[in-house]
Amino acid sequence: MHKFVFKKVKTPLGYIRVQPMPTKEELQLFYSQQYYQDEESLRQTGYEQSYDREEIAYRNLHSDLIIYALQNYCPNLIPSQVSFLEVGCGEGFLLSRAAERGWNVQGIDFSSYAIARFNPDMAERVTFGDAYKILEELFSSGKSFDFCVMQNVLEHVIDPEQLLQNIKKIIKPGGAILFIVPNDYSPLQMKALELGLIEEETWWSPPAHLSYFNIENCQEFVKSLGFKVIDVFSTFPVDIFLFHPESNYYKNRERGKDAHRARIRLELMMAEAGMDKYYAFCKSLAGVGMGRNFGLIIGT
């Protein structure tokens, strides 16, 4: 992958894609050799070798937020009758929380490494391999789901349009897709660049990330594929810490862990007010274009 010099290309819908796009084989080689094989590469994915109690609570909170958002859309579903698929289930925290609620869960991931480390009891519910192929097999077998979730997946794939269309084919009438992606080229990031708080586009990271969406252009993207936007919410805007010189983790990299820990504690505190109020806060962030990541709930 090192032989490529990636360029940014703005699509007609406003989101950014890399050029040239790596081939499927090159991308598979990148992930198989780098993504989960050593501690440094593990950190680059957002995963760690282990998590403390606050980190676990934080991951469970985000899983609960996703479940709440889906239940809020379909409040009358009986838990034991809910069919739930997560594409790119990673460490398995969301699968585990959904299973605890009685949902019938199934996962897809290209590697067993992360889930075997953090939620090994969920591994038997996961099919490992190429997501596009597995989704086609599910469709061919007549399998369908009420909900499908992808967390930080769409930005990694060569063809996000095709992935969403493949998922659309296995969603039951009235069901929903929820996906979370980084909020890149966001108003907050661009303001930080304008003010010199950062000196480069720190979120630009090919070949790991191939597409770069923000809250505004991602909605246009899914509408162009025939989906309707049901709801939008964001996660805490950790990049807000760039705006104070003592917490700017770009200028002082040692501040990064402190910023992350502050985010965890603030989100856990806000959730104590109730999931309904916490979700309302996350929706209000999205309403002003803020949030380090954002989630879209879409339907057909």
The CATH number that applies at residue 244 is 3.40.50.150
Looking at the domain assignment, is residue 1 inside a domain?
no
- pLDDT value, residue 143: 98
Neighbours of 63 (CB within 10 A): 21
Looking at the domain assignment, is residue 20 inside a domain?
yes
User: Which tokens go with 77?
Assistant: 């579903």
Tell me how far CA of residue 255 lies from CA of 96, 188, 259, in angstroms: 32, 19, 6
Q: What DSSP state is assigned to residue 190?
A: H
pLDDT(215) > 50: yes
Q: What is the mean pLDDT of residues 137-156?
A: 98
The edge-to-edge listing of strands for the beta sheet with 7-10 is 7-10, 16-19, 211-212
Looking at the domain assignment, is residue 27 inside a domain?
yes
pLDDT tier, 163 (very low <50, low <70, confident <90, very high otherwise)? very high
Number of DSSP helices (H) and strands (E) in the chain, helices first: 11, 10
Q: What is the mean pLDDT of residues 199-217?
A: 97
pLDDT(42) > 80: no
Looking at the domain assignment, is residue 2 inside a domain?
no
Question: pLDDT tens digits, residue range 58-97?
Answer: 999 999 999 999 999 999 999 999 999 999 999 999 999 9
Looking at the domain assignment, is residue 151 inside a domain?
yes
**How many domains is the chain partitioned into structurally?**
1
Looking at the domain assignment, is residue 176 inside a domain?
yes
Question: pLDDT tens digits, residue range 249-275?
Answer: 999 999 999 999 999 999 999 999 999
- pLDDT value, residue 34: 65
- pLDDT value, residue 3: 61
pLDDT tier, 29 (very low <50, low <70, confident <90, very high otherwise)? confident
Host domain of residue 122: 7-299
pTM (2 d.p.): 0.93
